[in-house]
Structures are given as C-alpha cells and as structure tokens.
A and B are shown apart, each in its own frame.
Chain A
Amino acid sequence: MAERVASEEVSSAVLEFEAADVRYEYERVAALQGLSLQVSAGERIALLGANGSGKSTLLRLMDALHFACGGTLRFRGAALTEAAMEDDGFALGFRRRVGLVFQNPDIQLFNPTVFDEVAFGPLQLGWPRAEILERVHATLAWIGAEHLKDRAPYRLSGGEKKRVALASVVVLDPDVLLLDEPTASLDPRSQSQVIELLESWNDGRKTIITATHQLEILGEISERAVVLKSGAVVADAAPAEVLANTELLESANLIHSHRHLHGGVPHKHPSPYLRHEHHQH
C-alpha cells in the first residue's frame, strides 16, 4: 500500500482526496452527514462554514486522525482506514505527503524549544540528521524565526506560535497542506504574515485546503470555496460566486444582517463582507 502512495505522481489530473457519502459521529452527535467531495492535486480550496459545521472534523478525517463511521474517504485511491494507518509504511508515506496545522497552536507545540518543534516531524519520519538540520534552519529562516530557535514555544506571542506551528508542518514539504483556521485570533499584521508565508510556500503544485469562516481572506487563500452546513456540502463554487450569494451565506451562518439606526431611521446591513453592497441612509 505504501508503494501505491509513493508511486503516485502529482499532477493536476490526480485526485488527492475523494470523499463519498462520508459520515462521522462524535459522542453520538453527527458531525459529518453524507459528505461527498473531490479534491484534485494543486487545488487551493477554502472550506467555509460556521462553528460546528464539520470543517475541523473533515480536516481530521483527511489527515487520518479520525476515521469515517460510514462512506469512504480515499487519498490518492487508498482508503483512509484505521487498518491502513497501522501499516508503518503507509502511515509514514501518508504523513510525509499530508500535513495538518491545528487551529490551536498551543496544542500543536509540545516540544521544549522552537528548534525541537520544527525538527519533530522530520525526526519521526527518519530523515538523515544533516538533512534535518538543513531543512529546520531553512524553514526557521523562511518564517523569520531563527532568533527564536532556542525559545520555549509557550513563551512566544500568538502570531509567532502560529508561524512556528506552520513551520513545524511545512518543514516536511507535504504535497497537501490542511489548515484549520490559520488566521483565527491573530492581529491584522500576523494574519497578513501567515497568508504571505502560505503564498510564498506554494509553488502552484501544492494542494492547500483551508478551513475558515473569515470571508475576507477567501480570495487570497483559494480558487474554490466549499460551503459546509450541518456536516454536508451545501455549495461548491468559485469564491466570488459564493460571496455573491447572500442567501447561501446567511443560511450557512457565515454572515448575518444587523439593524441599526441612522438619524433615527432604522435600516439593515446584509453583510459587512459584501463590498458591492450599497445602501442609502
């Protein structure tokens, strides 16, 4: 099975992920309900959805950390099952090709120093020492954190933690990068830094799947937007098309209208994100 993954060549025709009627329950609560989705190599996809829509669960299934209760999820044709991941060859090949950046960097950063953190993945995959040293230094330079290499991750700022968490996965140079809310809780400057890093890393052949509910970064991170609601796909289109569909966004709880008074006259704003929206006071 490992050979099957290793022998695959990345090309635009290759299906990276194929989810068919995937169901997943968490403590008897349905998190994914018959979700179907196909992801081709080199695509940049945004998974949009409100809290609890199933975005994070889907990413964890795609990273083979959880496994579907029903339906099938395949990576390059190989079913992602518990049994498959028990095979060391398959598991290491998969981990080499698919990386997940967790939403909460405090969960992801568990090593004593930043350097150890970035070196953790390559060490687990058994890379040669010289290559690990070279790649870790290069990756730290890439995120502008060489001066932080001896610092303990828990002592970093929120933006620094996020960049180190990103570096700890990107150091493996995976073909597929899964990002769970990469810019959540970051100040505007740190948000821009993370997005710029992602843009500079992607050589056009990487598959990047980003779960987010921040519509303002949609155009920068994706060419395809998949909207999830209650654990199923409710829309799959170009970002501009999705952003133009106010009804869809409202029904998926991605935007909300609010009412307020201007000069004593009550009126309604449908969305702060839809910049084409004009209203008269």
Chain B
Amino acid sequence: MRGWAKLGLGLAALAAAGAAVGWVLTAPDPLSAAEIAALPQGDAARGQRIFHAGGCASCHAAPKSVGEARLQLPGGVRLETDFGAFVAPNISPHLIDGIGNWSAGDLANAMLRGVSPDGLHYFPAFPYTSYARMAPGDIADLHAYLMTLPPVEGRAPPHEVSFPFNVRRGLGLWKRLFLSPEPVVALAADAPEPVALGRYLVEGPGHCGECHTPRNPIGGLDKGQWLAGARAAEGQGKVPNITSHEQGIGGWSEGEIVELLTTGFTPEFDSVGGAMADVVANTSQLRPEDRAAIAAYLKAVPAHPDGYQPTQTQVAPTQEGG
C-alpha cells in the first residue's frame, strides 16, 4: 500500500509540475518596462499613414461605413470563422467604451504581443501576428493619431466562440508557435529600398498574409505558401494568389498593382469586391511611394501555385443553364 501511495503522490506531483509548466508556457508575454519606456513620443500626423496602412477602419469602423464615418471606430464588424464569430471592439478614444485611457505602451502590448492592458491574450482575429513586425515608433505615432479621432459611445457585442477556443489562456501556446516579429521573406542586404519598405508594409501593418496565405488546421499561417491565396477565413469564396506565379499576379506589372491599390481596378478593369474593396479604401490613402513599394515587394515574393483547392464547380460551363 505504501508503494501505491508513493506512486500516487509522485503522479500528483508530476501533474502539478505539468500544470505549472503549462501555466508558464501559456502565460501572456508583455513588453518589458524598458521596452515601454523606450517608446518615442508619438506624432499624430505620421500616425494617420499608419492608420491607413494598418487597415484599422476595415474592422473597427461601424459596418458599411464610408468616407468620414470610417474615422469613427465603435467596432461591431463580425468575422465569422471556423473557430466562432469574432466581433471587433470599440477602439475610439472613448474613456469608458473605447481605448481613451490607453497609453502608447498599452497599444504596443496589444499590437506587438497580443496582450490586453489587463494582461489577457487577444484572439488572433486581431492580426497581431502581423502587427508584431511593426516598428515601435509607428505604434506610438498610431496611438497619437487614434487619440485625435472622435470618441464614440457604446460597446460592440462580445465574441461568440465556443470551447476550447474560448479558453484565452490556451492562446499562449498558439502564440509560441505562430507569433514572431521576424520577417517572412528573407531579403538580401542590398535589396532595393522600395522592396524593403514594401515588405514592412505588407508583412507588418498591411497584414495582407492574414487573408492571402492558407492556414493550418489550428489557424496558423502556412508560411511555406506565403501569399499563395486561400479559402476565405470568413464567408464564402477564395482570396486570390498574389505571388508572381502564373496562377497569381505574375502577369501584372508593378504599375498595374499600384493601379489596383489606388482605384480597385484590375488590369482587365474588373473591380475588386468584398473585403478587398475595404482594403483599397485604405491603400488609396497611402503615399504613392508606399503603394509602389508594396508592388515592388509583391513582385519579389517567391512564386507559389494557388494555396487553395480548385472549386468542384470548376467543370467547363455548359450552355444548358436556364
């Protein structure tokens, strides 16, 4: 009996140790006090560009907002995914319902580490896996800009996420696998300036990969198929391949990519729809050199075939429909 008791005790100790390790492995990992202290003073004028580059309004403006209304950020856009429905929160500078009492450090923790001011993990529907590649100074500028926007009252409804995905603590493990500030595409040290700027804008604030790259079953991006196109994470349809593969945009000139980011028209004068129409509302506000840089980077991204399976209805269209 004493042997059994010992074994039981040993197992309990092991379980406790396992739980302790799990607790440590899943812990939120905010920026250090030194990193927060090193944030520069933000500049709202510069932050406006980061706001558009980051596409903040696409999710945080009220659904279907256009024009000036895109600067009111009560949240409310729903992202319906395989893991549940995520609802973008109020990030207007309202003191109670928004982020009016956040410091630049709070915003940096949210965007670079996916950690809230009260120390909880955010769901990666908020694309901090991309924002983690941003320069801290840009986040300080963005914070300064956000504080100049109108405060909007009212909270967006809560997320509708079921077990086990609603256990936020578990995201700590997920982050260990998928959260990294490292760039995705390695560039030569002497890569042209626009390509490097484009990489920053696309991989960081622009978070293009979040929709244009396929995901694995637990929702991590498959960087081996970077920007190869994917099944839409929410709603129906496909997100196109934007690598320079022939199935992607290999046939496009940089000027044609710039045209799309400015007006929404493809070289065939098709006009992009869905979420990309929102993206164009943002990219059209960037500096011309920013759009040119995005185009230069996309032409430099390794070519991949489509990252999604062809649809079953891909059989040649018949004339019988009616």
Q: Do A and B bind each other?
A: no
